[in-house]
Structure 1
Amino acid sequence: MATDLAAEALRTDPLVQLTLDQLRRRTSVKWRTHPEDVLPLWVAEMDVPLAPAVADALRAAIEIGDTGYAHGDGYALALADFAVERWGWEGIAVERTAVVPDVMLGIVEVLRLVTRPGDAVVVCSPVYPPFYAFVRHDAREIVEAPLGADGRIDPAALEDAFRRARQGGRGAAFLMSNPHNPTGVVHTRAELETVAELARRYGVRVVADEIHAPLVLPGAVFTPYLSVPGAEDAFALTSASKAWNLAGLKAALAVAGPQAAADLARLPEEVSHGPSHLGVIAHTAAFRDGTGWLDELLTGLDANRDLLGTLVAQELPGVRWLRPEGTYLAWLDCTALGLHEEGDGPGIVSELAGPARMFLDDARVALSSGHVFGAGGAGCVRLNFATSPAVLREALARMGRAVRGTRT
């Protein structure tokens, strides 16, 4: 019986259903940036087939030529139902949502509603590199609030950043990653309540990137930021992009708290022209009909998380890692390896330095370089473990050999 259950798990785990040869036929950035001898564990794409519910919805649309402009509130309704089912949260009102091209472009548009050029945007570093690039490109100043050694929000550092952000009476926003990318921390309700209290005290508007919200692993509980007291004037942005591997099918949702509805109403009408109709169809199907597939994925990711912890201990004994509570991203602290870190600074996603450069050159494993994630990232790498156990084992074996080679 146990053998039968294990075999069934292998059949349903999306992470073991594609071979490397099949994956290398893909033409996306993950599989075309590096030569074929490189194992790509960097950018946030998963090595999974499309969820059947999403594939069926897209196939049906294509068969009838339904490839026009996006319309309707089905996407928001699907997310609202998903939030009730998965998080017990009934706070998504369709009239306080807007479809945007993707989460990062939606963040830019929301920040334009609540800040002006020259205002400050606080981030908890190390954090997703596009936070730096997109915000600075839009003439806002980044103020960093470094995470604690445990990878969690440090209330004292956040308060200090809020105080600096508001100096001179300028406007400020806090761009929060919830769950946090790259550490995989899932903020607790108590932590989010502290954020809300500090934001209210200092007059800082909160914009929560919750794109990884469906990817909370066993042992943690996701709390939508808009569900905590004091977050009524905040915004959240999300999509099915990360959890169902839909980055190439552009569509996301901006959700406003009750006191932010008037701000969201000022969103320019032309922003709604950016999302793809097929993207809206795919994301709607994922939230509405793809939860069974998601559960199978989460089971596989949980097993990979455990496997990765074992492999890091075996192959990289000098490397410290933060066991992620959510996402499929692992943050590895490689500072003990003593590799010199160079690079142009945060936000340049393709820039490689230090351990990431060594692992690419010597192990032929592509990882994200820590220094592009801002303060606290130097000497670290981010590893995407949304792949097969076989690929994980091979990648960590290569990395271990490369590290041992640098010490001989």
Structure 2
Amino acid sequence: MGVGARSSSFANPLEELSLERLRRRGSMKWRTHPADVLPLWVAEMDVPLAPAVADALREAIDTGDTGYPAGTEFAESLAGFASRRWDWDGLAIDRAAIIPDVMMGAVQVLRLITGPGDPVVVNSPVYAPFYAFIAHDDRRIVESPLGPDLRIDLDTLEETFRSARRQSGNGRIAYLLSNPHNPTGTVHTSEELAAVARSARRYGVRVVADEIHAPLVLPGASFTPYLSVPGAEDAFSLMSATKGWNLAGIKAALALAGPEAAADLHRMPEEVHHGASHLGVIAHTAAFRHGDGWLDALLAGLDANRTLLGELVAAHLPGIGYARPEGTYLAWLDCRSLGLAREQDTPDLAVVTDLAGPAQLFLEHARVALSAGHIFGTGGAGHVRLNFATSQAVLTEAVTRMGRAAVLHAP
């Protein structure tokens, strides 16, 4: 299902803001490190706000529309987007609930379907906050590592489910799926997801799909909503416009339930739905309803940047492995050849800026901030995650600096 980048009348958003203007931002990406550091770490994009989103927010501010969110327009806008972009008409408005953001939604859904001490399976290496949020809510993390090709190892996943079921007896088991996968940029195929659903059904595992990067699938791949595959009727999906339109600071998201999970979703506490900002709902609704053209221009820019990144890595970091991402704006670089892998860390939200190993090398000696691989769990040590949602000038300068640092500190 789905489409990649299409022709657009919008300019490439990644080339619209100068480094000087970006440095005036007050967000985490631009305030965590000194001004001489090029920040390619946290998942914020170097883009202006999409005009449709900016217009909607201005209208709300001009009319003082800053009260409480209401109605179903947010879910309706996502349903329309899903139909246009992914050929999916299965998003049921009566099985959609507003939540503050995707990770808080994941916690709330896991509370509905698991209890303290219950296992939650993840595919490591995976988005670091999965570990923190699950552990902090007193659930037990069980890793099912990705295969060498950075795709879901279906045999390993089935064995993980089987083992968890054997240990839990009649207890509850959940699987927190990243689709598309963060940090690798892998986009799971419909066949892979159908196999996941069959295995989850076989062992009574409830799937919760974090699909926050769903709008960001690049040419050559297609996004499949997890709830669209056979066997996913008792599963959940979490979606928002956060990543596609750079709206992390304007919070809103949706929890979607399959038909067999609707009763569970309806048990979600009422106060959870009040956590989203009305301005956030307005912004996300506008993005899904009117933001296609801007998104197409962004996807074209990201496609060009992932190609450029591959060329830059080959030229300046020839010993570093680059797995060309199929989606997101995140690249997973294998830096184990540098001999700086850090193997013994437990991922935790508190260490998302702990830049040991190659990330520390590139920060200290190249003045480039990347996400350290060890925080993404087993299989992450010796890697870094690089955010390529920036201008080609910044990307080129960053990788050139990294190349110089790697040469100077080669083992």
TM over 0.5: yes
Q: Return the offset for 1:9.
A: 8.5
Runs of 4 or more above 6 Å deviation: 8-11
Match of 1:103 in 2: 102
Q: Does 1:81 align with 2:86?
A: no
RMSD (CA atoms) = 1.3
Match of 1:18 in 2: 17
Q: Deviations over 1:50-95 (max 9, x none)?
A: 0000000000000011001111100000000000000000010100
Whole-angstrom distance in 1 between the partners of 2:202 and 2:157: 12
Contact 2:313 2:399 in 1 (8 A): yes
Whole-angstrom distance in 2 between the partners of 1:73 and 1:226: 20
Whole-angstrom distance in 1 between the partners of 2:404 and 2:344: 25
Match of 1:277 in 2: 278
5+ residue gaps, structure 2? 1-6
Match of 1:3 in 2: none
5+ residue gaps, structure 1? 1-7
Match of 2:3 in 1: none
Contact 2:10 2:293 in 1 (8 A): no
Q: Does 1:334 align with 2:335?
A: yes
Q: Does 1:371 align with 2:374?
A: yes
Whole-angstrom distance in 1 between the partners of 2:36 and 2:22: 13
Whole-angstrom distance in 2 between the partners of 1:249 and 1:38: 26
Q: Deviations over 1:329-382 (max 9, x none)?
A: 000000011114266421331221100010000000000000000000000000
Amino acid at match of 1:391: V
Match of 1:130 in 2: 129
State the percentage of identical aligned residues: 70
Q: Deviations over 1:263-312 (max 9, x none)?
A: 10101101011000000000000000011000000000000010000000
Q: Return the offset for 1:153.
A: 0.1
Whole-angstrom distance in 2 between the partners of 1:131 and 1:246: 20
Whole-angstrom distance in 1 between the partners of 2:371 and 2:279: 30
Amino acid at match of 2:370: L
Whole-angstrom distance in 2 between the partners of 1:342 and 1:194: 31
Match of 1:288 in 2: 289
Whole-angstrom distance in 2 between the partners of 1:308 and 1:136: 35
Q: How does 1:330-369 map to 2 (within 5 A)?
A: 330-341=331-342, 344-347=345-348, 348-369=351-372
Determine which of 384, 389, 400 is the counterpart of 2:387: 384
Match of 1:30 in 2: 29
Match of 2:44 in 1: 45
Contact 1:96 1:255 in 2 (8 A): yes
Amino acid at match of 1:241: T
Q: Return the offset for 1:159.
A: 1.1
Q: SS state of the match for residue 270, structure 1?
A: helix
Amino acid at match of 2:224: T
Q: SS state of the match for residue 342, structure 2?
A: coil
Amino acid at match of 2:78: L
Q: Does 1:261 align with 2:262?
A: yes
Match of 2:172 in 1: 171
Q: Return the offset for 1:165.
A: 2.1
Amino acid at match of 2:28: V
Whole-angstrom distance in 2 between the partners of 1:163 and 1:107: 23
Contact 2:210 2:238 in 1 (8 A): yes
* TM-score (norm: length of structure 1): 0.97
Match of 2:230 in 1: 229
Change (3 A) 1:119 1:11: closer
Q: How does 1:306-317 map to 2 (within 5 A)?
A: 306-317=307-318
Match of 2:246 in 1: 245
Q: Return the offset for 1:105.
A: 0.1
* TM-score (norm: length of structure 2): 0.96
Contact 1:135 1:142 in 2 (8 A): yes
Q: Return the offset for 1:171.
A: 1.1
Amino acid at match of 2:20: D
Q: Return the offset for 1:168.
A: 3.0
